[in-house]
Amino acid sequence: MFQKILIANRGEIACRVIATARRLGIVSVAIYSEADGRALHVALADEAWPVGPAPARESYLAIGKIIDVAGRAGAEAIHPGYGFLAENADFAEACAAAGIVFIGPPPAAIRAMGSKAAAKALMERSGVPLVSGYHGAAQDFSRFRAEAERIGYPVLVKASAGGGGKGMRVAAGPEELAAAIEGARSEARNAFGDDRLLIEKYMTAPRHIEIQVFADAYDHVVSLFERDCSIQRRHQKVIEEAPAPGMSEAQRQAMGEAACRAARAVGYVGAGTVEFIASGEKFYFMEMNTRLQVEHPVTEMITGEDLVEWQLRIAAGEALPLSQDRLRVRGHAIEARIYAEDPAHDFRPSTGTLIHVREPPRASHLRIDSGVGAGDAITPYYDPMIAKLIVHGETRATAVRRLAAALAQYEIVGVETNLALLRAIAAHPDFARGALDTGFIAREAKTLLAAPAGETADPVLWAAAALAALADARRERAAEAAASADPFSPWNEAGAWRMNGDGYQDLVLTLGEETVRLRIHPEPGGACRLDLPPMPMVCPMGGSLRAEAAEDAEGGMALRLEGVLHHLRVVRRADMLVVVRGGCNHVFHVADPLAPPAGEEAGSERLVAPIPARIARVLVKAGERVRKGDPLIVLEAMKMEMTIVAPLDGVVENVLHGAEEMVEEGTELVTFAAPPRKSC
């Protein structure tokens, strides 16, 4: 076994590999970019070495730098994690040339499966079933158009190199084919440095099922069973589970044998995943990922095996730890990927600092893999994943219940997340009964992405925000008093004393579209009475509620409202109060009750970057006439592309930034010529 390994990755996978290395007594060496100097994987490793600036191509993708660090650190082997260089044959060869073991498959196997087109041709010769498609060398549009007509629409255009949902576009008809090819080609070029494409029949409601395989250098290959990865958005997985719901033993055996056949066909060694699309009992090869997968924890949960340990042992020259007849499925496991993204706005990535993170308590049936925590920044340079939440149960029904309960306990404030979407999926009746397919999220989007019902109608939320704002004001006044020349002056009091009449304080809060003025009357003992104005959904006639708040055992708020106890949390974020209840964030703004109403803002003929990003493509030029909705600029951030469209009909006055430039959130991208004023 190795004495020291370097991990050529970051985030949760680096933390994951470090954990196994530590358990086995192996010294771990981390690498980090300038953006990751204080990252969790850096803190956990035995050593950590800098490798360059924040952009991945200058650090985590810089093969020469990584090999140099491994040599200087005395690492015997390199674990590539997943992503970055994990499926890069050149990197594997560079490791070998430097006398360093690559903890992964041979370069020839990576190359054979790295090209989806070549892999499909190889699988076809090996008797592995394929979906109808074209994966030839000709890459001109006329050939793609002819093949699409032969296959029949809809078709899926996808990058021949790479994976992870990048470089994939659906063309529902011939009128969409050119745009699909251009979009897929551009994204493939940016993500993988290879813009070759293939085209195949797009199955509208298949299941995505993959087989975890392992092979050693002694011609032993095993299947560690299947995972169902059908719950996806943008062709990228969101929820994965093992075993696949409703999988017959005959289909499990057939798919496992096909996956092992695929691995043998390329002389595979190490961990790999063979991905299939399935419809009924039929299944078709999609691709083979020559690395460990993000969703490997569900396989670990149902087999009881540490797959990273298997990787290390095989790379060190050992045989497979177990033969096929000794592997068993135990119970059911589900993984939910928690992303920094905004599902309500086409899953746009979200950047910022994690102000507050509270994870569900660990248990034997619950695991969390994460590389970030409170105080860490989610940057535009890397994948937007925050954590993976994995649960296990004796049955699938138990696992689903545990998933829902754990998601309700997860709290994140500071960036937009997909937690609400994950909760909605876990609560959906079709998910509960295992009726899964890759179109699930898109088909059920109206239900899954709906805003929380009755958010502004819950007096508990208003009371929590009001008492938190009041406590903040008192703390600020106390600090000001302590710093003043006369700390005992009555003018420094934060109370509600009035010369004539009962004391009170007014507070104006906004939640969504609802703005409410509350009057707070302090009572002896720390309680207060909240006067609410008439609110159609809360108090139609207005009313007065007795409220009292204290800190609970977990550092949150224990709120008694009319004698009923509620546990929640209030997180301060700039001028906002985020009330977290049941894991859901409710964002309040505190307004000055004496401030005049805000005036209407004038319209703007500006277009700005919604998040920090790199400009991938500029699609317009100055003087060009555009219509509302026309694509103008394509941005790339967190391994995703987003198209910025024209907000109005008009003429482009100026394009302020070019391709490859990095822009910050709010940076003006395009200006439009003001329409001519009409003369009287």
Q: Residue 512 — very low, low, confident or very high, per pLDDT cuts 50/70/90?
A: confident
Check pLDDT > 50 for residue 601. Answer: no
47 or 132, which is more confident: 47
3 state DSSP class of 512: coil
573 or 270, which is more confident: 270
Contact 611, 349 (CB under 8 A): yes
Check pLDDT > 60 for residue 677. Answer: no
pLDDT of residue 488: 64
pLDDT of residue 541: 47
Exposure string of 463-499, with b = 16+ CB inside 10 Å and e = fewer, is bbbbbbbbeeeeeeeeeebeeeeeeeeeeeeeebeee
- Which DSSP letter does residue 269 get? -
For residues 191, 195, 201, 206, the Cα torsion angle rounded to the nearest 10 degrees is -10
Once rounded to an integer, what is the mean pLDDT over residues 456-476? 87
3 state DSSP class of 423: helix
Least confident range from 27-31, 195-199, 385-389, 495-499: namely 495-499
Once rounded to an integer, what is the mean pLDDT over residues 57-70? 97
Check pLDDT > 50 for residue 600. Answer: no
Least confident range from 420-434, 480-494, 517-531: namely 480-494
User: Top-level CATH class of 132-201?
Assistant: alpha beta
Distances (CA, A) of 398 to 216, 391, 435: 35, 9, 16
Once rounded to an integer, what is the mean pLDDT over residues 560-569? 94
Query: Tokens 């579209």 sit at which residue?
Result: 513
Check pLDDT > 60 for residue 487. Answer: yes
Residues 487, 501: Cα–Cα separation, whole Å: 26
Q: Residue 121 — very low, low, confident or very high, per pLDDT cuts 50/70/90?
A: confident
pTM for this structure?
A: 0.85
- Which DSSP letter does residue 150 get? H
pLDDT in tens, 133-143: 888 889 999 99
φ/ψ of 18, rounded to 5, equals: -60, -40
Give ∠ CA 223-224-228 in degrees, rounded to 5.
105
Closest of 260, 155, 247 to residue 209, by C-alpha: 247
φ/ψ of 340, rounded to 5, equals: -85, 90
CA–centroid distance for 24 within its chain: 30
Check pLDDT > 90 for residue 232. Answer: yes
Once rounded to an integer, what is the mean pLDDT over residues 605-621? 86
- Mean pLDDT (the chain, rounded): 89
pLDDT in tens, 245-263: 999 999 999 999 999 999 9
Q: How is the chain split into domains, by residue range?
A: 4-103, 132-201, 207-448, 455-591, 606-672
177 or 641, which is more confident: 177
Please state the length of the chain: 680
Residues 407, 323: Cα–Cα separation, whole Å: 36
Give 390's contacts (C-beta < 8 A, 6+ positions apart): 297, 298, 301, 333, 334, 335, 336, 366, 367, 368, 369
Q: Residue 20 — very low, low, confident or very high, per pLDDT cuts 50/70/90?
A: very high
Q: Which fold has domain 455-591?
A: Glycoprotein, Type 4 Pilin (3.30.700)
Point out which residues pair with 587 in neighbouring strands.
Answer: 578
Q: Residue 556 — very low, low, confident or very high, per pLDDT cuts 50/70/90?
A: very high
Q: Which fold has domain 606-672?
A: OB fold (Dihydrolipoamide Acetyltransferase, E2P) (2.40.50)
Q: Residue 554 — very low, low, confident or very high, per pLDDT cuts 50/70/90?
A: confident
Least confident range from 111-120, 419-428, 438-447: namely 111-120
The half-sphere exposure of 131 on its side-chain side, counting CA atoms within 13 A, is 25
Once rounded to an integer, what is the mean pLDDT over residues 353-371? 95
pLDDT in tens, 263-316: 999 999 999 999 999 988 889 998 899 999 999 999 999 999 999 999 999 999
Residues 396, 386: Cα–Cα separation, whole Å: 25
Residues 442, 146: Cα–Cα separation, whole Å: 29
Q: Phi-psi category of 94—alpha, beta or left, where left has phi over 0 and alpha has psi -120 to 50?
A: alpha
Give the catalytic positions in this structure: 291
Residues 11, 7: Cα–Cα separation, whole Å: 11
pLDDT of residue 160: 83
Query: Tokens 């440095």 sit at which residue?
Result: 193
Residues 569, 467: Cα–Cα separation, whole Å: 12
Is the bond preceding residue 429 a cis peptide, omega within 30 degrees?
A: no
pLDDT in tens, 394-437: 999 999 999 999 999 999 999 999 999 999 999 999 999 999 99
Other beta carbons less than 10 A from residue 318's beta carbon: 14
Other beta carbons less than 10 A from residue 664's beta carbon: 12
pLDDT of residue 680: 44
pLDDT of residue 311: 98
3 state DSSP class of 284: strand
Check pLDDT > 90 for residue 59. Answer: yes
Give me the amino acid identity at 248: S
pLDDT of residue 678: 52
pLDDT of residue 166: 75
> Which tokens in the block code for residue 227?
């995972």
CATH (residue range 207-448): 3.30.470.20
CATH (residue range 4-103): 3.40.50.20
Q: Residue 520 — very low, low, confident or very high, per pLDDT cuts 50/70/90?
A: very high
Is the bond preceding residue 206 a cis peptide, omega within 30 degrees?
A: no
User: Is beta strand 411-413 parallel, antiparallel or unpaired with respect to 356-358?
Assistant: antiparallel
